[in-house]
């Protein structure tokens, strides 16, 4: 499964990416997480991007692309990936297409989370994260049971990301409208865009996503596995994506099997016929030999009779 999640900051991509990664056993590759990690480890890259990130602006396309490429190439991404927060600009999407093309593993779907802008603002401004275990909450929509205390690890360090503060949120939303929203058209033109309603209960949204993935990506993967294992589908085996409904019509493997059975049947028939013919010939040959022997016996008998008759005649004479 090779999928990208698209949507405004706070639309729930990160939460859903984690759930998807768990269910489909593929890595979640989050450009924001990778960059934040670089910042917290104080690497060269981290130092370069720290202030840009805090301001809510986007880091350069090259930096973002390089940050995710290594993960995309890694062994753990062989079964697929969920890309979260990347690409965020058209040049990033083009780079992604090119690199995945080199790996012969093109993107399958772009899932766009649609959400009311007012909700987007509340989701980002209200977001809190546990500094210890990473659990996330929202002041407005999903606060912890005890105010300020993490339900998972009991830590009191529920913090707001620097770029979730008001001025940064404004800049991030502007960057989204300016640079990221055009990707909706980009992926629609590739027939890869699917929209998921981003509002509602987390598990309900996840259910809607799984429906899309299970009907549109997994049959394709089954097809790829089938091709790899030599059990190739006929081109009309599946009605894909178009109606959102998948219909299994038949395998080329099925007809190959039928053809195989036919060949075996014909072989048996031919063998039986050949066997009968041989047996027939044997019988004919046996009968002919018997006739010959009988004839010879008759001839011999006649000769003996003739000889004894002539002997009698000579004795008389």
92 binds ligand AMP (CB under 6 A): yes
- CA distances from residue 128 to 6, 18, 29, 214 in whole angstroms, order as listed: 21, 17, 21, 32
Q: Is 197 helix (H, G, I), strand (E, B) or coil?
A: strand
Q: Name which position in 2, 71, 88, 123 contacts ligand AMP (CB under 6 A).
A: 88
Q: Name which position in 15, 19, 52, 188 contacts ligand AMP (CB under 6 A).
A: 52
Residue 172 a catalytic site member: yes
Q: How far is CA 235 from the centre of its chain?
A: 17
Catalytic residue among 172, 192, 194, 208: 172
Catalytic residue among 99, 105, 122, 161: 161
φ/ψ of 26, rounded to 5, equals -130, 155
Q: Name which position in 3, 6, 38, 59 contacts ligand AMP (CB under 6 A).
A: 59
Catalytic residue among 2, 13, 192, 194: 13
Nearest to 99 by CA among 69, 76, 67, 60: 69
Looking at the Cβ atoms of 6 and 217, the one nearer to ligand AMP is: 6
Residue whose C-beta lies closest to ligand AMP: 32
Q: How far is CA 6 from the centre of its chain?
A: 20
- Using CA of residue 261, residue 267, residue 270, residue 274, what is the dihedral sign? negative
172 binds ligand AMP (CB under 6 A): yes
Q: Is 242 helix (H, G, I), strand (E, B) or coil?
A: coil
Q: Name which position in 3, 4, 58, 158 contacts ligand AMP (CB under 6 A).
A: 58
Residue 88 a catalytic site member: yes
CB of 9 to ligand AMP, least distance (A): 5
Q: Is 181 helix (H, G, I), strand (E, B) or coil?
A: coil
Residue 291 near residue 299, CB atoms below 8 Å: no
Binding segment (CB under 6 A) for ligand AMP, from list 83-91, 214-222, 285-293, 298-306: 83-91
Binding segment (CB under 6 A) for ligand AMP, from list 86-94, 203-211, 254-262, 291-299: 86-94
Q: How far is CA 118 from the centre of its chain?
A: 36
Helix (H) or strand (E) holding 157: none
Residue 265 a catalytic site member: no
- CA distances from residue 235 to 223, 227, 229, 292 in whole angstroms, order as listed: 10, 12, 16, 66
7 binds ligand AMP (CB under 6 A): no
31 binds ligand AMP (CB under 6 A): yes
- List binders of ligand AMP among 132-171 (CB under 6 A): 163
Beta-carbon contacts of 184 under 8 Å, excluding residues fewer than 6 positions away, are 6, 112, 193
110 binds ligand AMP (CB under 6 A): no
Residues labelled as active-site residues: 13, 88, 127, 161, 172
- Interface with ligand AMP (CB under 6 A): 9, 31-32, 35, 52-53, 56-59, 64, 85-88, 92, 163, 172
């Amino acid at each position: 499964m090779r999928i990208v999640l698209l949507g405004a900051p706070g639309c729930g991509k990160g939460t859903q990416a984690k759930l998807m990664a768990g269910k489909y056993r593929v890595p979640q590759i989050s450009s924001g997480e990778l960059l934040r990690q670089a910042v917290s480890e104080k690497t060269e890259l981290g130092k370069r991007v720290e202030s840009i990130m805090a301001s809510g602006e986007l880091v350069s396309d090259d930096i973002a692309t390089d940050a995710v490429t290594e993960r995309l190439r890694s062994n753990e991404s062989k079964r697929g990936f969920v890309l979260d927060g990347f690409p965020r600009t058209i040049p990033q999407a083009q780079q992604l297409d090119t690199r995945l093309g080199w790996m012969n593993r093109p993107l399958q779907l772009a899932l766009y989370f649609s959400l009311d802008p007012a909700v987007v603002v509340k989701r980002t401004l209200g977001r809190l994260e546990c500094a210890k275990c990473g659990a996330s909450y929202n002041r407005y929509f999903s606060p912890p049971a005890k105010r300020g205390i993490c339900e998972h690890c009991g830590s009191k360090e529920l913090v707001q990301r620097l770029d979730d503060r008001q001025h940064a949120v404004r800049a991030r939303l502007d960057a989204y409208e300016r640079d990221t929203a055009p990707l909706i058209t980009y992926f629609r033109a590739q027939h890869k865009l699917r929209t998921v309603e981003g509002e509602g209960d987390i598990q309900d949204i996840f259910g809607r996503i799984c429906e899309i993935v299970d009907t549109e990506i997994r049959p394709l993967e089954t097809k790829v596995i089938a091709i790899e294992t030599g059990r190739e589908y006929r081109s009309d085996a599946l009605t894909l994506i178009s109606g959102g409904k998948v219909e299994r019509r038949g395998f080329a493997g099925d007809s190959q099997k039928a053809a195989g059975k036919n060949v075996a049947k014909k072989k048996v028939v031919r063998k039986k016929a050949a066997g009968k013919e041989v047996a027939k010939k044997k019988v004919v040959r046996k009968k002919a030999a018997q006739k010959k022997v009988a004839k010879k016996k008759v001839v011999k008998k006649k000769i003996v009779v003739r000889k004894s008759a002539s002997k009698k005649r000579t004795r008389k004479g």
